[in-house]
């Protein structure tokens, strides 16, 4: 259903409010440079500090500016099933093509609880859903066997995989086959994850290097692994520089350097420290983005 380089876009702020002009610039930049889909209001979009009204405002604006040129996959997850249903229904009403739902965090549900959470959202919202497995943020790992059960649920179409484990990726693909599309959620692992059978990536690095990310994913899908490896190793220093501090601190700093938005985050996140910022700027300049 979805493939290629999909960007988990930032939410730009200006004086504490959503910066709609900056958001429009970011969307057009992505579409013009080969991004396959836009993913607003995920972790990179600081969804944790958006109000429900702001959340739907961002999704609606991205849908409007995208104008059908690429799909919009709205972040809509929560550790409350009722809240996740409301956000997913809201995203659908706003025109999103699909929703990305993080595994319930903090509650630490059982595998059965995780399964029932996603099934309930799928049944209530009836829009394509992508599961998001990132135990480093949620303390709630979705086991491959649970993913395989969810692959049988109508409307659950994909998995964003960010466990950091290639073994986990391969086990999901082995168990699910073509019943579920798998996407990389770790920029540094996208190349090997594509090599074992993923269909694409939901990327942070693509915020600032969409053309290069799209080219790498296109090479992977074409089986041109020499080109894909070359592009991967060119991007790797940029990826490492962006992730010196918690995402999206680094990518917001880089986008500000590039003139797309202010370097403004919401507490408890803070702008990048000066030492890390200096390293990031050097890499961004070397990559030719300034």
Any idea which residues carry the catalytic annotation?
132, 160
Q: Angle at the Cα of 73 (from 67 to 77), degrees rounded to 5?
A: 140
DSSP-assigned letters across all residues of 49-93: GS-HHHHHHHHHHHHHHHTTSS-BEEE---SSHHHHHHHHHHHHH
Query: Left, alpha or beta for 95 (phi > 0: left; psi -120 to 50: alpha)?
Result: left
Handedness of CA 247, 249, 255, 258 (dihedral sign): negative
**Looking at the DSSP assignment, which residues form a beta bridge with residue 181?**
158
> Cα(185)–Cα(207) distance, rounded to whole angstroms?
14
Q: Residue 87 has which token pair?
A: 């956000």
- DSSP letter, residue 271: P
Give the CA radius of gyration of the chain: 18
Distances (CA, A) of 143 to 3, 74, 111, 115, 146: 23, 24, 7, 10, 5
Distances (CA, A) of 259 to 15, 17, 67: 16, 18, 24
> Cα(243)–Cα(186) distance, rounded to whole angstroms?
11
Cα-Cα-Cα-Cα torsion 250, 251, 252, 256, nearest 10 degrees, comes to 100
């Amino acid at each position: 259903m979805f493939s290629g380089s999909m960007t988990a876009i930032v939410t730009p702020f200006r004086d504490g409010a959503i910066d709609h002009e900056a958001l429009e610039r970011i969307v057009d930049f992505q579409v013009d440079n080969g991004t396959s889909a836009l993913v607003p209001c995920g972790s990179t979009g600081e969804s944790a500090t958006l109000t429900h009204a702001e959340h739907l405002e961002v999704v609606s604006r991205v849908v409007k500016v995208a104008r059908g040129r690429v799909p919009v996959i709205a972040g809509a997850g929560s550790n409350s099933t009722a809240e996740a249903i409301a956000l997913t229904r809201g995203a659908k009403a706003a025109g999103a093509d699909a929703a990305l739902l993080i595994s319930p965090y903090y509650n630490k549900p059982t595998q059965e609880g995780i399964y029932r959470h996603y099934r309930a959202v799928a049944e209530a919202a009836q829009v394509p859903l992508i599961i998001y497995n990132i135990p480093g943020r949620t303390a709630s790992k979705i086991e491959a066997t649970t993913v395989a059960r969810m692959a049988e649920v109508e409307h659950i179409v994909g998995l964003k995989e960010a466990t950091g484990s290639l073994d986990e990726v391969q086990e999901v693909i082995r168990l699910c086959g073509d019943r579920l599309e798998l996407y990389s959620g770790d920029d540094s692992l996208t190349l090997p994850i594509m090599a074992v059978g993923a269909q694409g990536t939901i990327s942070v690095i693509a915020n600032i290097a969409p053309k290069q990310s799209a080219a790498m994913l296109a090479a992977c899908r074409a089986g041109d692994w020499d080109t894909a490896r070359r592009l991967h190793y060119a991007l790797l220093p940029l990826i490492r520089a962006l992730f010196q501090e918690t995402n999206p601190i680094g990518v917001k700093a880089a986008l500000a350097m590039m003139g797309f938005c202010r370097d403004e985050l919401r507490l408890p996140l803070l702008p990048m420290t000066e030492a890390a910022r200096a390293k990031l700027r050097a890499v961004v300049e070397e990559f030719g983005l300034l």
